[in-house]
Amino acid sequence: MIEFINVGKTYPNNVKALQDINLKIEKGEFVAIIGLSGAGKSTLIRCINRMHDISEGELIVDGVKVNALKGREIRNYRQRVGMIFQSFNLVTRISVLKNVLVSFVPHLPFWRKVIGAFSKEQKIKALTALDQVGILDKAYVRVDQLSGGQQQRVALARTLAQNPDIILADEPIASLDPVTARQVMDDFKRINRDTEMTFIINIHHVEMALEYADRIIGVREGRVVYDGEAKNVTEEV
Ligand code: ADP
Ligand code: ADP
């Protein structure tokens, strides 16, 4: 479970990106965070994997105080909390498989990742993840040969290969056309159903959020202004 208790986040330039956030997200939920640009969505999910430190309150994930983690503990923690970005964050000049394998050695410098020798077991895990998202046939293709939707699937496979408890996605469909965006959301939904992984997805496209998510968290000016079932969302949110 993810628990925000009176969480606040102020950036060094004094922008209060989050204020008085109180949330509980249970294992296996499929949550969309909606809100205008600048509302604080990105900041909210980046606190969960410790890309950002919170400034106030307490953030507890499966009993662990996230902000008390140090060094190696943060690295281990991040293996359990996968992150997917709008821009996919893939290395486009290397193969799909290699991009997924890289998830096993996040702490190595880039050149060592690329030349890294991976075990048979790691390769099987990576290929299994590619199969889960339907692009096993692209394993040996360079990422820059793929469409945007296929690249987002590689990013999802890379995250899945870590077998995380939580997947955070920051505007994962923002740069995709509507058809491809739906395919990616369908993948997320299916994997959420088939596994116990919790999904927390930032989406500024409200209709997509309402269509796919079980629970909607609406954020405005750093505060939660709605938290509930998608079907009860009114226009105001
Ligand atoms: P959203 O994801 O909803 O667009 P963000 O979480 O990115 O919102 O931003 C929330 C607020 O915090 C905005 O006012 C934004 O300009 C500010 N902000 C985001 N990142 C930083 C940063 N690294 N340093 C300073 N201000 C930031
Ligand atoms: P995204 O919505 O994909 O997070 P943004 O354009 O909001 O992208 O931000 C891009 C980067 O700039 C992020 O790392 C964010 O933290 C940072 N950033 C956003 N707003 C500010 C700001 N007002 N001051 C400093 N950095 C910011």
Ligand 1 close to Cβ of residue 213 (< 6 A) = no
> Which of these ranges, 100-109, 198-207, 214-223, has the smallest mean pLDDT?
100-109
Mean pLDDT, range 60-88, rounded to an integer: 93
Quote the ligand 2 centre to 128 CA distance (angstroms): 34
Mean pLDDT, range 4-14, rounded to an integer: 97
Give residue-wise pLDDT tens across range 210-226: 999 999 999 999 999 99
> Which of these ranges, 84-88, 110-114, 167-171, 196-200, has the smallest mean pLDDT?
110-114
Q: What is the full DSSP assignment across the chain?
A: -EEEEEEEEE-TT--EEEEEEEEEE-TT-EEEEE--TTSSHHHHHHHHTTSS--SEEEEEETTEEGGG--HHHHHHHHHHEEEEETTTT--TTSBHHHHHHGGG-TTS-HHHHHH----HHHHHHHHHHHHHTT-GGGTTSBGGGS-HHHHHHHHHHHHHHT--SEEEEESTTTTS-HHHHHHHHHHHHHHHHHS--EEEEE-S-HHHHHHH-SEEEEEETTEEEEEEEGGG--TT-
State yes or no: pLDDT of 234 exceeds 80. Answer: no
Give residue-wise pLDDT tens across range 109-136: 766 666 667 889 999 999 999 999 999 9
Q: What is the per-residue pLDDT for 169?
A: 97
Mean pLDDT, range 93-109, rounded to an integer: 85
Higher pLDDT, 237 or 70: 70
Quote the ligand 2 centre to 212 CA distance (angstroms): 26
Quote the ligand 2 centre to 219 CA distance (angstroms): 17
Higher pLDDT, 89 or 114: 89
Quote the ligand 2 centre to 142 CA distance (angstroms): 29
Q: What is the per-residue pLDDT for 105?
A: 79
Predicted confidence band of residue 189 (pLDDT cuts 50, 70, 90): very high
Q: What is the per-residue pLDDT for 103?
A: 83
Given ligand 1 and candidates 7, 15, 53, 204, which is best to mutate, with the most ligand atoms within 8 Å of its CB? 15
Ligand 1 close to Cβ of residue 37 (< 6 A) = yes
Give residue-wise pLDDT tens across range 11-22: 999 999 999 999
Nearest-atom number in ligand 2 for the CA of 174 is 3
Q: What is the per-residue pLDDT for 88?
A: 84
Quote the ligand 1 centre to 114 CA distance (angstroms): 32
Ligand 2 close to Cβ of residue 86 (< 6 A) = yes
Predicted confidence band of residue 4 (pLDDT cuts 50, 70, 90): very high
Provide the mean pLDDT of the chain.
Answer: 92
Nearest-atom number in ligand 1 for the CA of 36 is 3
Q: What is the per-residue pLDDT for 113?
A: 64
d(CA 210, CA 193) in angstroms, rounded, equals: 17
Quote the ligand 2 centre to 43 CA distance (angstroms): 9
Joined together, the tokens standing for residue 217 give: 């968290």
d(CA 219, CA 34) in angstroms, rounded, equals: 6
Mean pLDDT, range 134-157, rounded to an integer: 95
Q: What is the per-residue pLDDT for 47?
A: 97
Q: What is the per-residue pLDDT for 231?
A: 78
Please report, for residues 14, 21, 174, 198, 222, the alpha-carbon distance to residue 28 in angstroms, rounded to integers and kept in the order given.
35, 21, 24, 4, 25
